[in-house]
Amino acid sequence: MTDYGPLTLHVPEPAVRPGGTPDFSNVKIPKAGAVPRPDVDVDPETIRDLAFSIIRVLNRAGEAVGPWAGLLSDEELVEGMRNMMTLRTFDARMLIAQRQGKTSFYMQHLGEEAISSAFRKALQPGDMNFPTYRQAGLLIAGGYSMVDMMCQVYSNSRDPLKGRQLPVMYSSKEHGFFTISGNLATQYVQAVGWAMASAIRNDTKIAAAWIGDGSTAESDFHAALVFASTYKAPVILNIVNNQWAISTFQGIARGGAGTFAARGLGFGIPSLRVDGNDYLAVYAVAKWAAERARRNLGPTLVEYVTYRVGAHSTSDDPSAYRPKTESDAWPLGDPIIRLKNHLILRGAWSEERHKQAEAEILDTVIAAQKEAESYGTLHAGAKPSAREMFDGVYAEMPPHLRRQRQQAGV
Amino acid sequence: MPRMTMIEAIRDAMDVMMARDERVVVFGEDVGYFGGVFRCTAGLQQKYGKTRCFDAPISEAGIVGTAIGMATYGLHPCIEIQFADYMYPAYDQIVSEAARLRYRSNGEFTCPMVIRMPTGGGIFGGQTHSQSPEALFTHVSGLKTVVPSNPYDAKGLLIAAIEDPDPVIFLEPKRLYNGPFDGHHDRPVTPWSKHELSEVPSGHFSLPLGKASIVREGAAVTVLAYGTMVYVAQAAAAETGIDAEIIDLRTLLPLDMETIAASVRKTGRCVVVHEATLTSGFGAELAALVQEACFFQLEAPVARVTGWDTPYPHAQEWDYFPGPARVGRALVETMEA
């Protein structure tokens, strides 16, 4: 006889599945302005609470409140607004282009536009982002050519990556945007290495690592935190918690941990949580973390709490695993509407200006799209030469590849 | 010319490159203060400081992943995985990242780095201190794979690898660290000081990657070998009296097919030897290439003498390791075929 009952395996489940009523009552949302803003050289031990709260600036009324407010001018906020709107419009057009068969694949940012758009503005020229496939706001807000982005998505004759990469896997060294890999989390630890290199060379540049909630379960996430912590690398370790990893809810990656930010505490890394749909809060926290890195105070981990409103990709149908209206119930709202309300309250924006901006941006994106399509799309028009397939494997083409290129007849 | 062991030659190569190029950084597990479990980095931290040569956490993915980040910043990391058997946690970083950065970014980001790994058996290393995983690297587009067999080559090739603009896997046969080894485990080991290839030029010199070396000229049969098997092949040739032409490949990828094909066309016979397991091992690639390039000159099937298709055992070390008797038998059979 044993005193022990049979063991059972715990498999976390999201609160609601398709057909159910969305319920985010378990997501604790602190009031805007409620979380203090410590000095950047704070003892990490004294701000452990920040890994369990959510730094927010914009309140329900659209006012910017609390110690993290007041960093951005009207002009900067309007620019942020336009960048977010541009990204959303860009996404919408590319989604349609994929449906029209002009490319094979696309991934949109719907609902997450504030994070990469605002973060980009906290960096300086020369800093390097190590993004995932869902931070194109870094490129849009950084002034990268939309035509080039579309040419990459179309894999056409002007594709900067010569048709070698899946759509949205952009690369732009000049814009501080590291080449995107399909392999999740790999870039997280590379960002730490890049930051270590900057420190080894006594440079002043910093790195930013990006990862989603699901990918924090990859072992490279842990390696990155160990190395960042050990060598006090000048890196910002960003986690975009959009609640979903394809069909898997964030509880599968997070397990019993209070938050993703809390993971940083075990490594002695100051860890903050921020409202990812609050442009002002994202910018303020990014600025704080960048300042820490640049002052040689070491890494900061930031969890952006947001919601993936769109499908994971054009190959995904979320209605198979979550309620269709779940995004409407998301308590942190929509980043564009929230900034719009704030700007209107500041007197720096209006419904008319918003409509006008929407129309202007749509025109700009359509014009870029027309230009991009004039260089071809995946299945029509001009395309990268088949010779390109053999270039760039090595700095210099070795004999066996030269032979294969010859056999391919290109 | 100074005489060096392979360990000293490898250390000297890093010393030379660290002195010449501030971008060269060296790190790995126990590599810094202690100077490496095989002494390959002894004294480098003392000489160049903690930010040029340092200890790393026990995380192969972390070591390779951070080195990739450093390389894309503009450094030239020369990192160490303590045993090739422990490279698997870093395999994603090596295959999916280091090997492909140049290609996928159309040259925007490049990965000039060297990953040093002690490899090979013959030391009673058992399953996880004896493996020869070279085929797992040669199969990957974008990597170069190098295996030196003596102190002279080790230094020249390591300097070339550090200077190379692409990621290089540098496999160091640990059985050869202190002296050449021909597979006669029952005889005392001779130190490098008795061998002519322990004479290593001081200062900077390099050997081209992708060039094989003919270590014994012969007319009867071509033996393709690398690492420890170079000495085993030499012993086998001497003991059978077969006039074998023994080629030390030195670089597995890019491969020196010109030298290989010229030799096999001359001899009409070919035996491939390696410690790694047979099936889908690098020998399969060599046999296929020789068959394609020399079909009409071949007078016998291409033979392969390799480790068995089992994990590397402990007690059965000398039944597993392809020693001179097994290689000799293959030479005889190939001559009689």
Distances (CA, A) of B187 to B181, B183, B264: 10, 9, 32
What pLDDT was estimated at residue A179?
98
Give the single-character DSSP code of B188.
Answer: P
> Does the beta carbon of B51 lie under 8 angstroms from any beta carbon of chain A?
yes
Number of CB pairs, chain A paired with chain B, less than 8 A apart: 140
Do A80 and A72 touch, CB atoms closer than 8 A? yes
Instruction: Please report, as a single letter, which amino acid is at residue A409.
Output: G
Query: Residues 43 to 62 of A: which have CB under 8 A from any B CB?
Result: none
Longest distance between any two alpha carbons in chain B, whole Å: 59
> Quick check: helix, strand or coil at residue B317?
helix
Of B75, B8, B17, nearest in space to B205 by CA: B17
What pLDDT was estimated at residue A150?
98
> Quick check: helix, strand or coil at residue B125?
coil
Of A171, A199, A201, nearest to B105 by CB-CB distance is A171
- Say yes or no to pLDDT of A383 above 90: yes
Distance (Å, whole) CA B149 – CA B85? 19
- Say yes or no to pLDDT of B213 above 80: yes
DSSP string, B243-293: -EEEEE-SEEETT-HHHHHHHHHHHS-EEEEEEEESTTSHHHHHHHHHHHH
What's the mean pLDDT in A215-221? 98
Q: Which of B76, B129, B204, B314 is catalytic?
A: B129
Do A74 and A348 touch, CB atoms closer than 8 A? yes
> Does the beta carbon of B88 lie under 8 angstroms from any beta carbon of chain A?
no
Percent of chain B with pLDDT over 90: 99
Residue A256 pLDDT level (bands cut at 50, 70, 90): confident
Do A67 and A33 touch, CB atoms closer than 8 A? yes
Cα angle for residues B111, B10, B284 (degrees, 5° grid): 65
Residues of A in contact with B25 (CB under 8 A): 197, 200
Distance (Å, whole) CA A304 – CA B111? 31
What pLDDT was estimated at residue A25?
87
Percent of chain A with pLDDT over 70: 100
- Do residue B102 and residue A394 have CB atoms under 8 angstroms apart? yes
Identify the burial level of B203 via C-beta atoms within 10 angstroms of its C-beta, where 0-12 means exposed, 13-18 middle and 19 or more buried: exposed
- Say yes or no to pLDDT of B130 above 80: yes
Known catalytic residue at B129 = yes
- Say yes or no to pLDDT of B255 above 80: yes
What pLDDT was estimated at residue A401?
97
- pLDDT tens, residue by residue, A306-329: 999 999 999 999 999 999 999 999
Distance from CA of B171 to the nearest CA of A (A): 20
What pLDDT was estimated at residue B252?
98
Q: Beta strands B213-216 and B244-248: pairing type?
A: antiparallel
Distance from CA of A220 to the nearest CA of B (A): 7
Q: Which helix (H) or strand (E) holds B326?
A: helix B324-336
Bond preceding residue A270 cis, omega within 30 of 0: no
> Quick check: helix, strand or coil at residue B233?
helix
What's the mean pLDDT in A33-57? 97
- Do residue A399 and residue B257 have CB atoms under 8 angstroms apart? yes
Residue A39 pLDDT level (bands cut at 50, 70, 90): very high
- pLDDT tens, residue by residue, A50-106: 999 999 999 999 999 999 999 999 999 999 999 999 999 999 999 999 999 999 999
pTM over 0.90: yes
- Whole-number mean pLDDT of chain B? 98
- The rounded radius of gyration (Å) of the Cα atoms in chain B is 19
What pLDDT was estimated at residue A2?
86
Q: Print burial letters for B37-52: b (CB count within 10 Å at least 16), e (below 16).
A: bbebbeebbeebeeeb
Distances (CA, A) of B214 to B90, B231, B294: 34, 12, 18
What pLDDT was estimated at residue B163?
98
Q: Is the CA virtual torsion A148, A153, A157, A162 positive or negative?
A: positive
- pLDDT tens, residue by residue, A237-254: 999 999 999 999 999 999
- pLDDT tens, residue by residue, B54-87: 999 999 999 999 999 999 999 999 999 999 999 9
Q: Beta strands A244-245 and B213-216: pairing type?
A: unpaired
> Does the beta carbon of A179 lie under 8 angstroms from any beta carbon of chain B?
yes
- pLDDT tens, residue by residue, B217-238: 999 999 999 999 999 999 999 9
Residue ranges with strand state E in A117-193: 128-130
DSSP string, B279-313: TTSHHHHHHHHHHHHHTTT-SSPPEEEEE-SSPPP
> Does the beta carbon of B157 lie under 8 angstroms from any beta carbon of chain A?
no
Of B75, B109, B141, nearest to A200 by CB-CB distance is B75
> Does the beta carbon of A153 lie under 8 angstroms from any beta carbon of chain B?
no
> Does the beta carbon of B292 lie under 8 angstroms from any beta carbon of chain A?
no
Phi first, then psi: give them for residue B239, nearest 5 degrees: -75, -30
Tokens representing residue B13 in the block: 């190569």
* Order of strands across the sheet that contains A271-275: A128-130, A207-212, A235-241, A300-305, A271-275
Looking at chain B, which residue has its C-alpha nearest residue A165? B104
Residue B14 pLDDT level (bands cut at 50, 70, 90): very high
Distance (Å, whole) CA A281 – CA A118? 9
Distance from CA of A390 to the nearest CA of B (A): 9
Distance (Å, whole) CA B45 – CA A400? 39
Identify the burial level of A38 via C-beta atoms within 10 angstroms of its C-beta, where 0-12 means exposed, 13-18 middle and 19 or more buried: middle
Do B87 and B145 touch, CB atoms closer than 8 A? no
Distance (Å, whole) CA B243 – CA B223? 10
> Does the beta carbon of B144 lie under 8 angstroms from any beta carbon of chain A?
yes
- Whole-number mean pLDDT of chain A? 97
Instruction: Please report, as a single letter, which amino acid is at residue B71.
Output: A
Of B164, B158, B196, B152, nearest in space to B80 by CA: B158
Tokens representing residue B88 in the block: 């698997």
Distance (Å, whole) CA A156 – CA A376? 5
Residues of B in contact with A398 (CB under 8 A): 210, 253-254
- The rounded radius of gyration (Å) of the Cα atoms in chain A is 22
What pLDDT was estimated at residue A27?
86
Residues of A in contact with B164 (CB under 8 A): 395
Distance from CA of A87 to the nearest CA of B (A): 22
- Do residue A183 and residue B69 have CB atoms under 8 angstroms apart? no
Q: Beta strands B144-146 and A271-275: pairing type?
A: unpaired
Distances (CA, A) of A29 to A24, A116, A309: 10, 22, 19
Identify the burial level of A321 via C-beta atoms within 10 angstroms of its C-beta, where 0-12 means exposed, 13-18 middle and 19 or more buried: middle
Do B275 and B254 touch, CB atoms closer than 8 A? no
What's the mean pLDDT in B237-263? 98
- pLDDT tens, residue by residue, B295-332: 999 999 999 999 999 999 999 999 999 999 999 999 99
What pLDDT was estimated at residue A258?
85
Distance from CA of A410 to the nearest CA of B (A): 18
What's the mean pLDDT in B291-296? 98
What pLDDT was estimated at residue A255?
83
Percent of chain A with pLDDT over 90: 97
- Say yes or no to pLDDT of B15 above 80: yes
Distances (CA, A) of B195 to B3, B5, B302: 9, 10, 31
Residue A409 pLDDT level (bands cut at 50, 70, 90): very high
- Say yes or no to pLDDT of A1 above 80: no
Give the single-character DSSP code of B190.
Answer: P
